[in-house]
Amino acid sequence: QTVVTQEPSFSVSPGGTVTLTCGLSSGSVSTSYYPSWYQQTPGQTPRTLIYNTNTRSSGVPDRFSGSILGNKAALTITGAQADDESDYYCVLYMGSGISVFGGGTKVTVL
Amino acid sequence: QLQLQESGPGLVKPSETLSLTCTVSGGSISSNGYYWGWVRQPPGKGLEWIGTIYYSGTTYYNPSLKSRVTLSVDTSKNQFSLKLGSVTAADTAVYFCARHSSGSLFDPWGQGTLVTVSS
């Protein structure tokens, strides 16, 4: 089964920029995988940030943006703030009704 | 405003069947183009898609769980349900239901319910 890969952790300074990626163990991610991104703090329900590669969910600040970078989907946080410290998950649509989550990236703001 | 709420036992014995229901309010489960999914998260671990169902009854399952999972829908009650058989401690997790649309969009989510598998 195809594995969706994410960096285990990232650290960013307040006001800094960080780009998280979402790849495949085999092959390249394209818009055809409809990548989406979720933010989750411990004990909370996931919050939708981005869907269909680069569409921001309602109420999500524009410092969050989605794209395809090379052969991966990417989530960029520009001007990181303290409350961006969370776990971030991507999910890809594999076709035939199958969705696969990545393992998540823990982002620390310090 | 669409809301989802999971319900079901919080404790299940090993080898038995885990059963959860998700009640949808503020909208119809029969809305065209929207599917309904289940996602779980073991304590301290990541999210895992379990399966998705359309109001017509069409189902899609995670291949790694397919042999043990059954999804169903009750449009008269605006609910959909999850059954996971032959559970072990590895199935202990918070189980979320969510509307599933546009490829990989899960939104909104239910608040989640913790199910512990233990004797």
Q: How does pLDDT run across B103-119, given as a tens digit for each residue?
A: 889 999 999 999 999 99
- Taking 80 as the threshold, does the pLDDT of residue B102 lie above it? no
Could you give phi then psi for residue B89, rounded to 5 degrees? -60, -25
Residue of chain A whose Cα is closest to the Cα of B107: A48
For chain B, say whether A36 makes contact (Cβ under 8 Å). yes
For chain A, say whether B28 makes contact (Cβ under 8 Å). no
Give bridge partners of residue B97 from the DSSP assignment: B38
Computed over every residue of chain A, the mean pLDDT equals 96
Computed over every residue of chain B, the mean pLDDT equals 96
User: What tokens does A33 get?
Assistant: 């995988």
pLDDT the model gives residue B25 = 96
Q: Counting beta carbons within 10 angstroms of the beta carbon of residue A14, is it exposed (0 to 12), middle (13 to 18) or buried (19 or more)?
A: exposed
- Taking 90 as the threshold, does the pLDDT of residue B95 lie above it? yes
pLDDT the model gives residue B117 = 98
Q: Enumerate residues 48 to 107 of chain A having a beta carbon within 8 A of any beta carbon in chain B.
A: 48, 51-52, 57, 87, 89, 91-93, 96-104
Q: What is the C-alpha to C-alpha distance for residues B39 and B58, in angstroms, rounded to an integer?
A: 17
Q: Nearest-CA distance from B76 to chain A in Å?
A: 25
pLDDT the model gives residue B103 = 83
Q: Given pLDDT bands bounded at 50, 70 and 90, which one contains residue B32?
A: confident
Model confidence over A23-53: pLDDT tens digits? 999 999 999 999 999 999 999 999 999 999 9
Identity (one letter) of the amino acid at B59?
T
Q: What is the DSSP letter of B103?
A: T
Model confidence over B35-62: pLDDT tens digits? 999 999 999 999 999 999 999 999 999 9
Q: Given pLDDT bands bounded at 50, 70 and 90, which one contains residue B33?
A: confident
Residue of chain A whose Cα is closest to the Cα of B45: A103
Q: Given pLDDT bands bounded at 50, 70 and 90, which one contains residue A55?
A: very high
Which of B102, B104, B112 faces A92 most closely, judged by CB atoms?
B104
Q: Given pLDDT bands bounded at 50, 70 and 90, which one contains residue B64?
A: very high
Residue spans of alpha helices (H) in chain B: none
Q: What is the DSSP letter of A82?
A: G
User: What tokens does A32 get?
Assistant: 């055809």
Q: What is the DSSP letter of B65?
A: T
Identity (one letter) of the amino acid at A78?
T
Considering only CA atoms, which of B104, B93, B102 is closest in space to residue B46?
B93
Q: Counting beta carbons within 10 angstroms of the beta carbon of residue A43, is it exposed (0 to 12), middle (13 to 18) or buried (19 or more)?
A: exposed
Do B56 and B71 form a contact (C-beta atoms < 8 A)? no
Considering only CA atoms, which of B33, B35, B10, B17 is closest in space to residue B86?
B17
Which of B46, B96, B110 faces A103 most closely, judged by CB atoms?
B46
Model confidence over B73-88: pLDDT tens digits? 999 999 999 999 999 9
Do B41 and A91 form a contact (C-beta atoms < 8 A)? no
For chain A, say whether B33 makes contact (Cβ under 8 Å). no
Q: Given pLDDT bands bounded at 50, 70 and 90, which one contains residue A67?
A: very high
- Taking 90 as the threshold, does the pLDDT of residue A82 lie above it? yes
Task: Say whether B106 and A100 touch across the interface (CB within 8 A).
Answer: no
